[in-house]
Structure 1
């Protein structure tokens, strides 16, 4: 593999979508909240118990503490990831989507919980905020999706250079066609994710917060999109797709620098299971511990996919990449 990796592209767009926009959202939230001070009760409600009324009271500072402190720090972390390791567009999209989405979600919760208290003499008379929470999740998901969509795509970076000669190959006759495919699931991720969905559903029932069911449904879709995978190597290159079609990994043959087998530790290297961004900006589907295919791609990008029989897939990918560039097809 190469030792020097190029600087991630689109750093200005990364800064705007991942840092500037979330900070503007939070700043606007704080300005609006402060402007409402004359119309808010003192003390004001800062916490609600399910569908019931408020059960904790405090100052305006208490109400805006989370968006004022946590969301900007989260945005800064996402920006640093995308700015320094975002060689692949999926890394930049994930960073922009989560950063902007969280900022909008928290801002809607804060402003919505304050709005229901405007002109009240006693904050204890404030109604429940189930609708506010629902709007917050909906707004956060929509804003995060839009932020991810405006992130610039990766431009094609085809290469005519030979595939790394030290990478494994498989023997193919000059006119022989070949393809390889495997399916992979994540039992651990399914148990952990399924448990999280169950917890959210139980909380929605116990706390009488129907809006949490939206979160449970979202988590279920996320599991379906990230914990079941079909991996193929053929004339298209490497293709790894979830049942929903997104997210996906596609590495065309003319962008393969080298494919190899690697041993992957999901939690240690990627912080969990699913479609992940890991150490050094590596991206891909990490569904279980063990062997997988690691593809070094033009532009300094690295994709990983945990899958059985990774040696066969990696060797075939290198061989087909050789053939696509007019090189040798057998070793």
Structure 2
């Protein structure tokens, strides 16, 4: 019932994060070095925006070709590496592939945008004379997506952690012994779609910021909201301990909801599927709701108020057994 530290998984995660950090440094070095190498052949200011016809129509100091991509890269890479801190994501093929694809796409895309902007300004005496940009922007996006898909496929090599075999035996709650059950479930397809929406949002934002697209900021904002909502419901994690039950959403396990033991009557396991509850995500109303990430065994918790919450999560048998044992010890079970 208690979790044991898996040394091999910890070593793999450490190597994974080191490789991610190396990729971050490499891309950052390229984003800084390339503008420096060509600085004497660039006008100052440089063209930073190209209109619908492909001609330059806005300028900014040449340093923006370094600062903007570098800051965006730091934010995007930090987000991806933040996901990489979760052991369950790194040691599962689906989670690992998403993180690597995000890092690959972000780095290649920003390098491509910077390269296209520098090439358009290269050798020009004035920013107004910068070369037009049309198909180059589409090519950058296509190459970044292709690299992300290839990197995600390559990242599937390695461990694919499986949940432990179900064991619904009543846990040993001897005095002074702390027992914790933690489990989760993810929807790989929703993770991929959310990642695609986030990548599209970043693409629109960067292209607009660099002046390579006339699309409004609203498009990037809407896609970002869709991506965040998708991430929030792509993964659910449940933790049961003497403090009660904690239900967390998303790869970063935030936001989270806590339910103390004195609000829980009992728990059991039921087979439920999206077709039965009306689809994926948070279904139903408070008091009779289901958090549906994948069909199959669900941990069902009944509150002392009479309401119920069902959560599609792995290893639900042991979670229900521990929760019932803790509730019984706490003295809150209904007669």
Report TM bin, short chain. Answer: 0.5 to 0.7
* Alignment correspondent of 2:281: 287
Whole-Å separation in 2 of the counterparts to 1:30 and 1:88: 34
Kindly report the root-mean-square deviation, in angstroms, between the aligned alpha carbons of the 2 structures: 4.9
Alpha carbons of structure 1 residues 79 and 38: separation in structure 2 relative to 1, 3 Å? same
Which sits farther off after the overlay, 149-158 or 35-44? 149-158
- The answer as to whether partners of 1:93 and 1:148 remain within 8 angstroms in 2 is yes
Alignment of structure 1 residues 45-60 onto 2, 5 Å = 45-60=47-62
Alpha carbons of structure 1 residues 45 and 316: separation in structure 2 relative to 1, 3 Å? closer
Whole-Å separation in 1 of the counterparts to 2:105 and 2:16: 15
Whole-Å separation in 2 of the counterparts to 1:84 and 1:314: 17
Q: CA deviation at 1:58?
A: 1.9
Q: Deviations over 1:136-177 (max 9, x none)?
A: 211221222222223233256686x6623369xxxxxxxxxx
User: Which has the bigger relative contact order, CA under 8 A and spacing at least 6?
Assistant: 1
Alpha carbons of structure 1 residues 97 and 43: separation in structure 2 relative to 1, 3 Å? same
Whole-Å separation in 2 of the counterparts to 1:65 and 1:316: 47
* Alignment correspondent of 2:109: 105
* Alignment correspondent of 1:79: 81
Q: Which runs of 5+ in 2 are unaligned?
A: 172-188, 235-244, 257-278, 284-288, 301-311, 319-335
Q: CA deviation at 1:81?
A: 2.3
Alpha carbons of structure 1 residues 264 and 54: separation in structure 2 relative to 1, 3 Å? farther
Whole-Å separation in 1 of the counterparts to 2:212 and 2:103: 29
Aligned length: 228
* Alignment correspondent of 2:176: none
Whole-Å separation in 2 of the counterparts to 1:96 and 1:46: 30
Q: Which runs of 5+ in 1 are unaligned?
A: 168-184, 228-246, 248-261, 271-276, 294-304, 320-331
* Alignment correspondent of 2:147: 143
* Alignment correspondent of 2:326: none
Alpha carbons of structure 1 residues 74 and 306: separation in structure 2 relative to 1, 3 Å? same
Alignment of structure 1 residues 53-68 onto 2, 5 Å = 53-68=55-70
Normalised by the length of structure 1, the TM-score is 0.52
Counterpart among 158, 183, 195 of residue 153 in structure 1: 158
* Alignment correspondent of 1:126: 130
Paired residue secondary structure (2:121): coil
- The answer as to whether partners of 1:14 and 1:83 remain within 8 angstroms in 2 is no
Alpha carbons of structure 1 residues 70 and 156: separation in structure 2 relative to 1, 3 Å? closer
Whole-Å separation in 2 of the counterparts to 1:208 and 1:139: 16
Whole-Å separation in 1 of the counterparts to 2:60 and 2:15: 39
Whole-Å separation in 1 of the counterparts to 2:77 and 2:170: 41
Q: Deviations over 1:76-102 (max 9, x none)?
A: 332232134334232222122112211
- The answer as to whether partners of 2:54 and 2:132 remain within 8 angstroms in 1 is yes
Q: Deviations over 1:55-113 (max 9, x none)?
A: 32122211221221221232133223213433423222212211221111011001111
* Alignment correspondent of 1:180: none
